[in-house]
Amino acid sequence: MKKILITRRLLKESEDKASKMFDAKFNGNDELYSQSKLIELSEGHDAILTSLTDKMDEETINKLPDSIKVISNFAVGFGNIDLEAAKKRGIAVTNTPEVLSDATAEIGILLILGACRRVPEGIQAAKESSWKWSADYLIGKQLTGTRLGILGMGRIGQKIAKIAKSLGMIIHYHNRSKLSDEKEQGAIYHDSIKSLFGVSDVLSICCPATKETENLINKETLEYFPTGAVITNVARGDIVEDEALIDALNRRKIYAAGLDVYKGEPNLNSGYLKIKSVFILPHLGSATKHTRIAMANLAIDNIDEFFKTGNCKNKVN
């Protein structure tokens, strides 16, 4: 029976599954392992089931024992893993796509609603019993007829588009390539971010974090947006240059922001906390019981598939 190291605590259903399929070492206290401890614990194991909180950089991967053949990431993203370093060591890296698309799209829509309808201010006023109804109290932006730009029209982007369209939003998108008519569902394609941003009353960031997309939202590109636009991010914090977005919010170039992800999680740039129009969540994209079980089970199945076949359909390197 193959031995696997699971770096973070999983829900009971998934840990039971892992126990039946492997000789699994669990993290009962859900401790955040240091890189040195993770390397130490991996001795004698065949695979590691990692989470986004595990920094698997080149140095860490190069110190893993030769017995490690698979790193199965408990996420659709894999920015925490140096894919090239793993490839050089002959270690397969897998992820968990598709199973979290619905849950993440729901949070994507929540961010849009929360930012457009001034939810942070409303919650604060309700808690303090400091509000008084009037015709112009906490006037926000209505979604009906609003142009939604989707940056990255993959599985999650398409699901957000479908829900947003039902709310009366007009869908625009930028992707590495134009989608088929069936997948577009009437959405309007833009071949550049400048073109997309220029028509985006609301932007939903759904693209993966890569070298090409790092700090894609920056001082220059923020000027492409219509004054009073709303920016939301359900993808990765690395895509947004925080200081530039904070400045644009303070200048009212950008009306509001909705963020489920940010650089240096869980440490948020304090500048956001001083702005009333920022709606912040603690990376809840996939946080439903159904989805977290499905993600963990897929991460476990990825390891099983690799050892049975020598490959895995969710291999990313």
The catalytic position among 121, 184, 214, 265 is 265
What is d(CA 38, CA 34) in angstroms, rounded to the nearest whole number? 6
Q: What angle do CA 94, 98, 84 make, to 5 degrees?
A: 25
Beta-strand relationship, 170-174 and 147-151: parallel
Q: Collect all residues with Cβ–Cβ distance below 8 Å to 280 and sequence separation of at least 6.
A: 120, 258, 259, 262, 268, 272
What is d(CA 120, CA 122) in angstroms, rounded to the nearest whole number? 5
283 belongs to the catalytic site = yes
Which has the closest alpha carbon to 66: 104, 84, 39, 30?
A: 39
236 belongs to the catalytic site = yes
Q: Is the peptide bond before 266 cis (omega within 30 degrees of 0)?
A: yes
The catalytic position among 118, 236, 241, 292 is 236
3-state secondary structure of 189: strand
Distances (CA, A) of 307 to 20, 40, 69, 97, 301: 15, 23, 9, 20, 10
Which has the closest alpha carbon to 38: 71, 87, 1?
A: 71
Supply the residues annotated as catalytic: 236, 265, 283
